[in-house]
Amino acid sequence: MIQRRVAKKDPDAIDFLGDLYFHERLGLQKDMQKAIDLWTEAAELGSIGALYNIGVAYYHGEGVQENRVKAYEFYTKAAMQGHAVSRYNLGCHEGQKWNYDRAVRHLLISAKIGHKDSVEFIKKAFMGGMATKEQYAEALKGYQGAVEEMKSHDRDEAKRLGYAIRLG
C-alpha cells in the first residue's frame, strides 16, 4: 500500500518510507542515504514532517554531515508551516543563546498548536524570571485549547496505529 502511494508522489507516504529506512522498520534495512533522499523528495513535494526530519538529521549528523545552521534552517521552514516540534526546537535554540524573548515567542506558538514540552519550558522560564506570569498563562490556555480541538476517537486510533507501525 505504501509503495502505491509513494509511486503517486504522496509526500506523506514518501516521508513515512524515509522514517522506515531511518528506523529500520517493517523489514527494511537501515539506510540513512535512502532516508535522506526520500525526505528530500517529500519536502520538495510539501511534507512538513520531512523538513523536520532533515533538520534532525543535520542536527545529529545522521546520514549527512552535522550542520546545526542547516538544521535550524530546516526547523524554521517546518515551523513556518505549523510544525510544533520544529517551533519548540527553535525556542530551545534561542533560549540556549540567552534570547529569552525570542525563545518565549517560539514556545508560545508551539504551545498553542499542542506541544506540551513548550508549556513546561515556559513554566521553567517563568519560575526563573525569564518569562512573565501572563506568558505562562497564555501558553497553558493555548495548549489546552489545542488539545481540546484535536480530540477525536478516530484521531486517537490513528495515532495508536501509527505508533505501533513505527515501533515495529
- Per domain, the residue ranges of the chain are 1-81, 84-168
Q: Where are the alpha helices (DSSP H) in 1-132?
A: 2-7, 11-23, 32-44, 48-60, 68-79, 84-96, 100-112, 116-127
99-116: buried (b, 16+ CB within 10 Å) or exposed (e) per residue?
Answer: ebeebbbbbbbbbbbbbe
For the entire predicted model, the pTM comes to 0.83
Mean pLDDT of 97-113: 95
Please tell me if the domain spanning 1-81 has the same topology as the one spanning 84-168.
yes
Q: What's residue 158's pLDDT?
A: 63
Task: Report pLDDT digits (tens) over 80-94.
Answer: 999 999 999 999 999
Question: For residue range 123-164, what is the model confidence (pLDDT) as tens digits?
Answer: 999 999 999 999 999 999 999 999 888 777 666 666 666 666
Distance CA 43, CA 60 (A): 19
Over 60: is that where the pLDDT of 78 sits?
A: yes
User: Average pLDDT over the chain, rounded to whole?
Assistant: 91
Tell me the one-letter amino acid at 109. I
Domain spanning 84-168, CATH class? mainly alpha
Q: Which CATH architecture describes the domain 1-81?
A: Alpha Horseshoe (1.25)
